[in-house]
């Protein structure tokens, strides 16, 4: 069965196209056209049906189902864009990444797909070395089993976001800025230990957070970068000079800007001053209005702009679940009214990237197209994983979203199947 999707606009990561028509077959994009140009081949031709353009002109509904042979989904007033990529997420749907089972990652993936995310980096937390090694081995097996982006994960189903790599957050973090990371398992940067982690992951570690002020951090940054791992600086009390040394050694990003970082001071800018001032450095932001206020999101936007900002969730297992007690790694976290707390500090979030996108547009006044870069193009470019994530292009898996003029999610499609479709505001 073929599917046709159309909307007011298509933003493909580079430019906007008016009145797009996307034709999908077997989960892949078969053709892209515009109602303002020659139409793509009619998937329903010869079967007694009207053309997609004719049908859409007669229906105000967002979805028109053609019995038996095809479907047409119409999103008037909405923009189609690539599905989201979350590079920093610990859990969702009641499951934690550290479980490292196909069932846990599959449940996470199904929930994330319903919120517009098609790919994510499974993010670990600081834990005993043996537990971290076990989790890395399990996650590597899942990533390998799910295979290249053209294959589907049987445990997750074909309507699920898939983990395509690992983000190692800890154990090489600051005691002073550890947040909820367990102090007793924090370690000084150690190349030999990193190599054990990397081998256990069978090369699937794509991103690592570390504190640049720790002894051995510069050497580990240089070593990890040489092995193809992107280094992000965070959970850090580093000075500006210590931060600069890590950047010179290869660090390319900053983890959840503002949170678990040395405060900005006009005499000692520290890591935060460097993150905001360095035009080449990427930087994450948890845009939920809880981890940082809207004014700080606006400041971050002015500093990083559409080329270097990355929105992340830092979500834990409570994302998508009711208030209550949940696990983040081995710790109990209490969740109430959108706030996740453990031992008196914030412990991840219950944010989803669709809400982060909508919040960011509202907080900063950025355009929807600019903000879409922060959840698609920028994380792909920073991690070097554009080839794994794909794009809205002929031959690629049909993973995309529809959002309205305020950035609100209207629809999510993963592998050619609509996971969620709601009425635009």
Residues involved in catalysis: 314
Q: Write b or e for each residue in 401-414: b if 16 or more Cβ atoms lie within 10 A of its Cβ, otherwise e.
A: bbbbeebbbbbbbb
Work out the number of other CB atoms within 10 angstroms of the CB of residue 219. Answer: 13
Question: Rounded to whole angstroms, how far apart are CA atoms 157 and 152?
Answer: 7
The closest alpha carbon to 361, from 278, 412, 297, 304, belongs to 297
d(CA 188, CA 380): 29
Evaluate the CA torsion angle 176, 180, 185, 188 in order and state its sign. Answer: negative
Q: 240 with 270: CB under 8 angstroms?
A: yes
Torsion of CA 39, 42, 46, 47, to 10 degrees: -140
Give the pairing of strands 345-346 and 339-342: antiparallel
Residues 2-28: b if buried by 16+ CB within 10 A, e if exposed: bbbbbbbbbbbbeeebebbbbbbeebb
Element (H, E) at 309: strand 309-312
């Amino acid at each position: 069965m073929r599917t046709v999707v159309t909307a007011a606009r298509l933003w493909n990561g580079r430019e906007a196209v008016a009145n797009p028509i996307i034709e999908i077959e077997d989960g892949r994009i078969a053709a892209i056209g515009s109602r303002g140009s020659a139409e793509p081949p009619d998937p329903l031709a010869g079967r007694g049906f009207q053309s997609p353009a004719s049908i859409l002109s007669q229906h105000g509904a967002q979805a028109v189902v053609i019995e038996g042979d095809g479907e047409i989904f119409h999103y008037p007033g909405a923009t189609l864009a690539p599905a989201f990529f979350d590079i920093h997420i610990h859990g969702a749907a009641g499951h934690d990444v550290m479980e490292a089972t196909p069932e846990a990652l599959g449940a996470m993936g199904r929930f994330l797909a319903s919120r517009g995310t098609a790919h994510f980096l499974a993010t670990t937390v600081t834990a005993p070395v043996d537990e971290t090694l076990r989790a890395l081995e399990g996650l590597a097996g899942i990533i390998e089993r799910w295979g290249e982006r053209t294959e589907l994960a049987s445990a997750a189903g074909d309507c699920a976001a898939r983990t395509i790599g690992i983000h190692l957050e800890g154990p090489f973090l600051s005691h002073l800025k550890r947040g909820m990371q367990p102090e007793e398992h924090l370690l000084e940067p150690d190349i030999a230990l990193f190599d054990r982690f990397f081998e256990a992951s069978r090369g699937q570690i794509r991103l690592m957070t570390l504190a640049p002020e720790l002894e051995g951090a510069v050497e580990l940054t240089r070593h990890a970068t040489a092995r193809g791992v992107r280094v992000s600086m965070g959970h850090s009390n580093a000075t500006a000079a210590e931060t600069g040394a890590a950047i010179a050694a290869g660090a390319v990003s900053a983890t959840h800007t503002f949170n678990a970082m040395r405060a900005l001071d006009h005499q000692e800018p520290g890591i935060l001053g460097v993150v905001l001032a360095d035009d080449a450095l990427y930087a994450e932001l948890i845009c939920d209005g809880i981890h940082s206020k809207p004014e700080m999101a606006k400041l971050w936007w002015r500093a990083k702009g559409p080329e270097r900002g990355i929105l992340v969730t830092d979500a834990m297992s409570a994302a998508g679940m009711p208030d209550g007690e949940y696990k983040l790694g081995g710790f109990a976290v209490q969740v109430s009214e959108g706030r996740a707390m453990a031992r008196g500090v914030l412990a991840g979030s219950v944010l989803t990237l669709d809400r982060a996108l909508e919040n960011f547009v509202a907080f900063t006044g950025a355009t929807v197209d600019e903000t879409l870069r922060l959840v698609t193009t920028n994380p792909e470019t920073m991690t070097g994983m554009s080839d794994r994530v794909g794009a809205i292009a002929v031959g690629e898996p049909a993973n995309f979203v529809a959002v309205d003029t305020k950035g609100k999610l209207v629809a999510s499609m993963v592998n050619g199947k609509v996971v969620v479709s709601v009425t635009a505001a």
